[in-house]
Amino acid sequence: MTPERLKRINAMLDKRQPDLTVCMEGVHKSHNLAAVVRTADAVGVSDVHAIWKSDEMEVRGGSAAGSQNWIDVHNYTTTKAAIDELKKQGMQILVTNLSDSAVDFREIDYTKPTAIILGQEKFGASDVALAMADQDIVIPMVGMVQSLNVSVASSVVLYEAQRQRQIAGMYDTARIDDNRRQRFLFEGGHP
């Protein structure tokens, strides 16, 4: 690894936010999946969680997500398993949901450990996700379309989290643990 590349990877790792994550429920189109992971990386998310209801999609999703080597992707077969794990990690569980009872996404405190659940492109978030979540959140819309593209919705919420965390100084000191840094440096040196 060149010194420049080592510096670049360490600078990225210094900004990682291990307590901000996205959890994709159900099967998404691969271009949506790629866009979600791409934005997650851009705001410093280190882990993405994905719930796959069929084996075939796990493979496809796995490879699409794997093209992004700098994010750890965690796969689940049920929503309950995924949210149980996120709760064990002490995350507040927010589910993006187009309902009248959802609160405006900007009212949330994203400096807390936070997992953002994204619903399936066609059917939205499952009843299990809605029941298990701490809060559902909505991005206001004033047009004729019923919903946003899922990668767009994810990005708008993630950039609100980035805004709040930047103000709170959460990008100013490294927050990733040393084991993980070593692993990424090792893998980044052997692509």
d(CA 152, CA 109): 20
CA 70 to chain centre: 13
Give me the residues paired with residue 137 across strands.
Answer: 96, 103
Considering only residues 79-98, where is the footprint of ligand SAM by CB under 6 A?
96, 98
Whether the CB-CB separation of 116 and 22 falls below 8 Å is answered with yes
Among its own copies, ligand SAM, none, residue 125 binds (CB under 5-8 Å by kind): ligand SAM
118 binds its own copies (CB under 8 A): no
38 binds, among ligand SAM, its own copies, none (CB under 5 to 8 A by kind): its own copies
* The only residue of 68, 120, 135, 164 in contact with its own copies, by rule CB under 8 A: 68
Q: How far is the CB of 40 from its own copies (least distance, A)?
A: 8
- The residues, ordered by sequence, that sit 6+ positions from 134 with a Cβ below 8 Å of its Cβ are 92, 93, 94
Selected binder of its own copies within 100, 144, 178, 179 (CB under 8 A): 144
Interface region with ligand SAM, contact rule CB under 6 A, candidates 1-9, 50-58, 147-155, 181-189:
147-155
Per rule CB under 6 A, is residue 124 in the interface with ligand SAM? yes
* Number of other CB atoms surrounding residue 138 within 10 Å: 17
50 with 75: CB under 8 angstroms?
Answer: yes
